Amino acid sequence: MPRALLLENIDPVAVELLSSAGYEVESLRGALDEADLAAALDGVHLLGIRSKTQVTRAVLERHPGLAAVGAFCIGTNQIDLVAAAAAGVAVFNAPYSNTRSVVELAIAEIISLARRLVDRDRALHAGTWDKSAAGSHEIRGRTLGIVGYGNIGSQLSVLAEALGMRVLFYDLEDKLALGNAEACGSLEELLERAETVTLHVDGRAGNAGLFGAEQFARMRRRSLFLNLSRGFVVDHEALREHILSGHIAGAAVDVFPDEPREQGDAFSSVLRGLSNVILTPHVGGSTQEAQYDIGRFVAGKLADYTRNGTTTLSVNLPAVALHGSSAARFALLHRNVPGVLARADALIGEHGLNVDGQVLATRGDLGYVVTDVNGDLPPAVLASLRALPETVRLTTFAQRP
């Protein structure tokens, strides 16, 4: 029975899905360091991790039997993706599973900031009855400016409109405006028109310091600011100054330039202790629903990949979406150079087999071709395909997909 090893307390739904796909699954609560991981991977075909386990080139090179790694999270920085591709190890993650969780936190924070809930709550816990409407607002009719109209930004747009907000957005790319949302031609335009500005840009290097003194100064007086995207995007000193000056009436920050590594580690930030500022420890996407969905999504991708060769949404292999077939199937991951496909097809033909179907995709210097043939593949054909100098990995599918 093929084996799957899941680390870092992955949701039990992943164990269920992989077990029913025919894997013997071992699930551990913690992460493993490089040496322990290298030892634990003997005989393992699928590895599931979250953000703490490092999958290095050395680990990948030591385990040629490893077929795929599931990152049961959003980020994949913890995996050497280049080494994984070179070793023919497919990597999958869960890019959308926590989108809704981030959006709901943003909505909660927009309302909390507009009502100054944090200050009211702190005062009452401290024993002070401070009942007043001063500085409290409804969000209905207010203008929300969304910077970065991707998965999260666009879903936030829909929910914010449902709550009666007017939505403006700014994105580097031309994006379809959902509902009545209006695209702004520049970030400056958005800052000048919105009453609440929320950042949902991606983590590209060029976004470092995107938001600093100049951008805060351009925002409307007494507007609100949220960042649930990446910590390095915002200059927190500048944010602090604009909150202390009263120009910014409140802020919610979920992501920080330097985040503590471990649970319980000390946290320091110039934003601590400020009035009407909500600080959360990067929990935008952290809900039980998101964890369940991540487990379901990534385990499903791993199961599909090993069942029929589908690589859709793999972060490092060419993308091929496949349906079931009654033919015998093999997948050849190869170096993307001229003539490989012709050589592979010639080998099949020499053994009297006919190609029933074939799908090819390429990505950089890798090609991935999945072939259905009209009969079982003799070991000699498989050995010849494996021996092609361009072959990175040959996978056959034991069951008819």
According to DSSP, the residues that pair with 27 across neighbouring strands are 6
Q: How far is the CB of 190 from ligand NAD (least distance, A)?
A: 9
Q: How far is the CB of 96 from ligand NAD (least distance, A)?
A: 7
Q: How far is the CB of 202 from ligand NAD (least distance, A)?
A: 4
Residue closer to ligand NAD, measured from CB, 91 or 201 = 201
Residue closer to ligand NAD, measured from CB, 203 or 357 = 203
The reply to whether 218 sits near ligand NAD by the rule CB under 6 A is no
Residue closer to ligand NAD, measured from CB, 229 or 316 = 229
Is 259 labeled as catalytic in the residue annotation?
yes
According to DSSP, the residues that pair with 55 across neighbouring strands are 79
The reply to whether 282 sits near ligand NAD by the rule CB under 6 A is yes
Q: How far is the CB of 362 from ligand NAD (least distance, A)?
A: 23
Termini Cα distance of the chain? 18
The reply to whether 102 sits near ligand NAD by the rule CB under 6 A is yes
According to DSSP, the residues that pair with 5 across neighbouring strands are 26, 47
Q: How far is the CB of 85 from ligand NAD (least distance, A)?
A: 21
Is 282 labeled as catalytic in the residue annotation?
yes
Tokens 């580690």 correspond to 265
Is 247 labeled as catalytic in the residue annotation?
no
Q: Please list every residue from 246 through 265 that binds ligand NAD, using CB under 6 A.
A: 254-255
Residue closer to ligand NAD, measured from CB, 137 or 175 = 175
> Residue with the closest Cβ to ligand NAD?
150
Catalytic residue list: 230, 259, 282
Residues near ligand NAD (CB under 6 A): 74, 98-99, 102, 147-153, 170-173, 200-204, 207, 210, 228-230, 254-255, 282, 284-285
